[in-house]
Each structure stands twice: as C-alpha cells, then as structure tokens.
C-alpha cells in the first residue's frame, strides 16, 4: 500500500543516503570490503531506502520521474532474501555512482511537495 505521506518516505531516503555517505567517507572499495560493520550498516540503509521506495508505490514515478524505482524496490529483496549473492563491489559502485543522483532527484522532488508539517 502506498504511503499517505510521500514527504516522509522521501526524507527517509535522504536520511539513509546521508548515513551511507557518513559511514563511507574516506573509504575506498578495499576498505569497505574489509570493514564488516560499515558494509553491514550500508546494506541496512539500502534496505530502508528500498522499503521507502516500495511504500511510495506508483506515486514515486509521478512525483520523481527518472529514478529507477523498480530497481530500488528490488534491491531490498536481494539484500533480505538473497544476501549470499550480494556483491560488495556492486554496492560500492552504487555508493559512488548512484547515491548522489538519487539524492539530487529526491531533494528536487521534495521542493515540489506541499509542506506537511516539516
């Protein structure tokens, strides 16, 4: 069921992106792979991002087009159910290449939403 408050879901995504960026500042792939605490924390944040995308439902595409919403939703299933297939290198590429564009798209979408008490 879609969320009744897309603003909250978008803010959840931004919060989790910020946490990932904070956790990984100054790291490279080898440091990320070697640090189980950080890699696990990042995976958890990605699960939350995926869940927020799921809760947004089809409204996400309307409010914030151009984001690969289906892939974001599917990521959560991979992390939860196929955890043994998670590739740290692919997660790192997401951190380096995908989070900033997602952050920018979400921030722009939030500006167009009505202020619901935030």
pLDDT digits (tens, 9 = 90+) for 10-63: 999 999 999 999 999 999 999 999 999 999 999 999 999 999 999 999 999 999
- The one-character DSSP state at 12 is H
117 lies in some domain: no
Can you give the pLDDT at residue 117?
45
- For residues 17 and 49, the answer to whether their CB atoms sit within 8 Å is yes
1 lies in some domain: no
pLDDT in tens, 53-72: 999 999 999 999 999 999 99
Cα-Cα-Cα-Cα dihedral sign, residues 71, 42, 6, 2: positive
Could you tell me the pTM of the whole model?
0.91
76 lies in some domain: yes
Q: What is the number of domains present in the chain?
A: 1
24 lies in some domain: yes
118 lies in some domain: no
| Structural domain span for residue 96 | 6-111
């Amino acid at each position: 069921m879609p969320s009744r408050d897309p603003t909250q879901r978008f803010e959840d995504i931004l919060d989790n992106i910020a946490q990932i960026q904070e956790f990984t500042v100054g790291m490279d792939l080898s440091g990320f792979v070697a640090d189980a605490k950080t890699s696990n924390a990042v995976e958890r944040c990605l699960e939350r991002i995926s869940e927020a995308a799921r809760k947004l439902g089809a409204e996400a595409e309307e409010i914030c087009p151009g984001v690969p919403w289906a892939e974001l939703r599917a990521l959560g299933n991979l992390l939860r159910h196929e955890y043994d297939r998670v590739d740290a290198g692919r997660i790192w590429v997401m951190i380096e290449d995908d989070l900033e564009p997602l952050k920018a798209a979400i921030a722009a979408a939030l500006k167009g939403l009505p202020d619901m008490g935030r």
